[in-house]
Amino acid sequence: MGAHALDPGLDDLATSARAALVREIDASGAWGGDPRWREAFEAVPRHLFVPYYYVGVLGGYERMWGEDPDPRRRERWLRGAYADAPLATRVRDGELLSSSSQPSLMAKMLTELAVRDGDAVLEIGAGTGYNAALLAHRLGDGLVTTVDLDPEITASARRHLALAGHHPAVVTGDGARGVPEHAPFDRIIVTCTLTSVPRAWLPQCRPGARILAPLATGLIALRVRDAGHAEGRFLHTPAFFVPLRGDTPPEPELPELGGLPRRATSDDLFRFLLTLTAGRVDPHEAYALWEREEAPSRERYGVTVSGADAWAWLDDPEGPYTWPLA
């Protein structure tokens, strides 16, 4: 059995599992009524992009494999491929290097990308190729470029895409530098966590382009004004991805939180503020702000990029609460 084929008895299960996943995303409201993304998730078989993945077990990871000799484990692999859950797809020395994101979060991000027919899209972080396949189904292969630093990841993504009948541009390179040879882009979607906004992306965007990226456990949606300026606010959606590797600053470590009330340290929005300001704001100062502003939601925060400077802010980019980004 090749990676493109299933046991005859599993074909029907794949079809029904994919339909169930689409219904689950429907129920979440992730694509906001856009039928084009629903059609993409109906059409693109996720199992082609995860011929194996890892599930956490006590003491490490267990590998699930589509060609496992045990038919019960093959069925378990297939059901897991269509779960609305992230899947670890590349692990090295116990470290997660790449994953296939939770499908409902992917649907949310693709919807928030607000693509239009004819838009050229750059994806930072090729992963398994599944997200690029959804984009290619919606826009056409020629308008989609995906980039990843790891040649093994891009090779497998290219192979998975071909099995699904798609051939967008798959580039091996540092995503922080973009893909200037395929610019200009109308949209950039990022599937790995940033510590700041790489300046190389802005000159590769058309004016009015939209950048959607994970930052500080949130999703920032930036509008590009020109080659040196972009600004936008966070969405309400929390998001957790593996870090962008390459020519980017390392993620700052969260400080010790001793002495702070448990109701704050266990609060998702306070942790977001801490992550956004890590290394630049004392945790007790962050707590005072969080209390004073009555636990501000993610949508009240934003990011501005202006020339060599980039900063995060609360409510107003020129207001009293601003913090430089890396």
| The domain defined by 8-234 carries CATH number 3.40.50.12500 | no
pLDDT in tens, 186-209: 999 999 999 999 999 999 999 999
Higher pLDDT, residue 216 or 250: 216
Fill in the DSSP letter of residue 318.
Answer: T
- Joined tokens for residue 115: 């693509």
* 202 or 257: which leads in pLDDT: 202
Q: Taking 90 as the threshold, does the pLDDT of residue 4 lie above it?
A: no
Q: What is the pLDDT of residue 288?
A: 93
- List, for residues 281-322, the tens digit of each pLDDT value: 888 999 999 999 999 999 999 999 999 999 999 999 999 999
Mean residue pLDDT across the chain: 91
> What pLDDT, in 10s, does the model give residues 71-103?
999 999 999 999 999 999 887 776 777 789 999
| Residue with the two structure tokens 């997200």 | 131
Task: Give the span between the Cα atoms of 210 and 28, in whole angstroms.
Answer: 24
Q: How many residues does the chain have?
A: 326
The pair of three-digit structure tokens given for residue 171, joined into one six-digit string: 């580039």
**Token pair belonging to 292:** 């004073």
d(C-alpha 85, C-alpha 70), whole Å: 23
CA dist list (Å): 90 to 51, 52, 98, 159: 12, 9, 5, 16
- Among 235, 230, 193, 234, which residue's Cα sits nearest to residue 209? 230
Phi, psi of 231 (to 5 degrees): -155, 150
The identity of residue 42, as a single letter, is E
For residue 2, is pLDDT > 50? no
| Distance from the Cα of residue 126 to its chain's centroid | 10
Closest CA to 122 of 188, 172, 180: 188
Residue 109 reports pLDDT greater than 60:
yes
Inter-residue contact 205 to 198 (CB < 8 Å): no
Domain range summary for the chain, segments of one domain joined by +: 8-234, 262-324
pLDDT of residue 255: 58
Name the percent of the chain lying above pLDDT 70: 92
CA atoms of 197 and 54, how far apart (whole Å): 31
Rounded to two decimals, the pTM is: 0.92
Strand partners, 311: 304, 324
pLDDT at 6: 75
Dihedral sign (CA 38, 44, 48, 50): negative
For residue 247, pLDDT over 90 is answered with no
pLDDT value of position 259: 75
Least confident range of 85-89, 146-150, 256-260, 280-284? 256-260
What is the Cα–Cα distance from 141 to 115, expressed in whole angstroms? 14
Question: Above pLDDT 90, what percent of the chain?
Answer: 77
pLDDT of residue 3: 46
Q: Which positions are catalytic?
A: 98
Instruction: Report the DSSP beta bridge partners of residue 193.
Output: 243
Residue 177 scores a pLDDT above 80: yes
Nearest to 158 by CA among 173, 146, 149: 146
pLDDT at 169 over 90: yes
State the pLDDT at residue 241: 87
DSSP secondary structure, 24-85, as one string: HHHHHTTTTT-HHHHHHHHHS-GGGG-SEEEEEETTEEEEEETT-SSHHHHHHHHHHHTSSS
pLDDT at residue 189 in the model: 98
